[in-house]
Structure formats: C-alpha cells, structure tokens
Amino acid sequence: MRCRVVVGAEGRRSVTREQAGIRLHTAPPTHLITGLLVDDVPEWPQDTSMSGTQGDVMFLAFPQGGARLRVYRCTAVDQSHRFTGRDGTRRFLDEFRRVSCLPWAAAVAVSRPIGPCATFPGEDTWTDSPMAPGVVLVRDAAGYNDPIFGQGLAIALRDARMVADLLVGQPERWDACGLAPYALERREGMRRLRFTASLIAALQAEFTPAAGERRARFYQRVRAGTDPDLRLALAGHRGTGDSAAGSVHAGDAQKHRWCASPFIMISG
C-alpha cells in the first residue's frame, strides 16, 4: 500500500523517527521522576492538584476523578534504584508519611496502587525538524518536554490539531512546504518549554542546601508580591497562548486549582 504521508505518533521510541533518520537531541536529565496511579484516596479534593519540595524529594499529585490520584516523586539522578524492585511501590507510598507539608500525605501513603511504579529520566528531547520526505512526526515521537512540567498532553493535542488542520486545509501540499508552519512553531515552542522546565527543575528538583536556600528566597519574594514577573517565570507556553501553567507557593507545597480551560492552571 502506498500513502502520501506517514504521520509518526508512536511515542518516545518512535520507529518511524528511527527509520526516517530524524535525529533526536537529548538534554542530560537533571532529576528522575517516578509515577504511580493510585485509588482509594477519597480525602483528596478532586479540584486540587499539588506540588512541593521537602528534603530530597519533589512531589506532585493530580486528581484523576473518583478517589483516584496520579502521584509523582522527583529525586536526584543518582536515585535510580530508590523505587525499583518488588517493594518499590510500597517504598514509594511509604515515603509520603514523611511529607509533613502535604495535607493529605497520610491518605496517599495508604492508597491502593492501580498501575506500575515506573521511573523515568527528567529530560527534554527535541528534533531540529519533525519532518523527512513523506514523514511527519507528532507528539512524543517528535521530541518531548521534561515531565516535571506536565505539558505532554497539551503538546500532543497541539501537534495533532496543527498537522490535521494543515493536511485538511491544503490537500495538494502534503510536503515540507505545506507542513512548514507546524515544524517552525514546534521548534520554537519546544525551545520555550525546555527553558521553563529547566527553571522549574532548578527551583523544585535540586536538593542541595544551596538549592533549598534559593527556593526559600524565591518563595519569600513570590509571597511578598513585589515581583509579579516571578510567577511568570514558572509559566510557560508553546508560543501561541494555547497552553500555560502557573502556581503560587503556600507553605512548602503549592496548590493548583483547575479552572474551566483544560490547559490552564491557576493559583489557589
């Protein structure tokens, strides 16, 4: 069977990318991120997500409906075995008992795991161009943002929308020229998201005493409200205003309340 264009969307390990010879650049990971889907946390308010840093861990928690939560822990790059092995999931949850700045930490610690406890490098990847003759890559296959920033699905949806609109809007130009607006926007958008993710990682997922002092200074200034631009330092978007995330510090944990738009987090 012959087709005019192959859209590669098979995730991080895209075979289409490999076969098309499209090079994936990778920034060295600055931290690790371990995730787990859990159930039976009815105490958690389903309109609130939280993140924070305490000790040698950054944690994030996102409600998934019902009594479900997706929880993450970011650790230093030398902690790759911290949550592996037969007891890895239990150790992952047990550690929440020590997170005193998270109001529902005890409930998370006794929650029921309903997915794998997997650890990934906190890294950014990108392609100079997500295209080759007869091929266009979208979503993670075209390069992914550090998960610490939670932009993966926003990027995926934006990619799908842009490529679909270009293909449908100009059926006679399914080539590099016709798809150039997508390639250009993605390259610049991913550059911006990389920058923002690296700021967030430096602020939240470095665990040295100096990093802790910098964190404290940063949030003191945010709380004082004298530098409104500081909040923007933690907001990032792909370049056209479609996705943005922001947060404000409250104690050691940050609380995010979701508003009607699926792409915007506002401070709570």
Ligand X SMILES: Cc1cc2nc3c(=O)[nH]c(=O)nc-3n(C[C@H](O)[C@H](O)[C@H](O)COP(=O)(O)OP(=O)(O)OC[C@H]3O[C@@H](n4cnc5c(N)ncnc54)[C@H](O)[C@@H]3O)c2cc1C
**Binding residues vs ligand X (CB under 6 A):** 9-11, 15, 33, 35, 62, 120, 139-141, 144, 147, 150-154, 156
In the complex, what is the shortest distance from the CB of residue 49 to ligand X, in angstroms, rounded to a whole number?
9
Query: Which residue, 9 or 190, has its beta carbon nearer to ligand X?
Result: 9
Residue 53, amino acid: T
Q: What is the DSSP string of 66-103?
A: TT-EEEEEEE-TT-TTTT-STTHHHHHHHGGGG-TTST
Residue number with the smallest Cβ distance to ligand X = 152
Q: Would you say 11 or 225 has its CB closer to ligand X? A: 11
Instruction: Please answer whether residues 58 and 149 qualify as being in contact, where contact means their C-beta atoms are separated by less than 8 angstroms.
Output: no
Least Å distance, CB 239 to ligand X, is 17
CB of 209 vs ligand X, minimal distance in Å: 27
Closer CB to ligand X, residue 13 or residue 217?
13
Q: Which two tokens stand for residue 238?
A: 């792909």
Q: Least separation, in Å, of the C-beta of 139 and ligand X? A: 3
Pinpoint the alpha helices (H) of 35-179.
88-94, 105-109, 152-169
CB of 48 or CB of 214, closer to ligand X: 48
What is the nearest approach in angstroms of ligand X to the Cβ of residue 212? 24
Residue among 197, 196, 165 at smallest CA distance from 181: 165
Dihedral through CA 200, CA 202, CA 208, CA 210, nearest 10?
A: -110
Give whichever of 175 and 242 is closer to ligand X, judged by the CB atom. 242
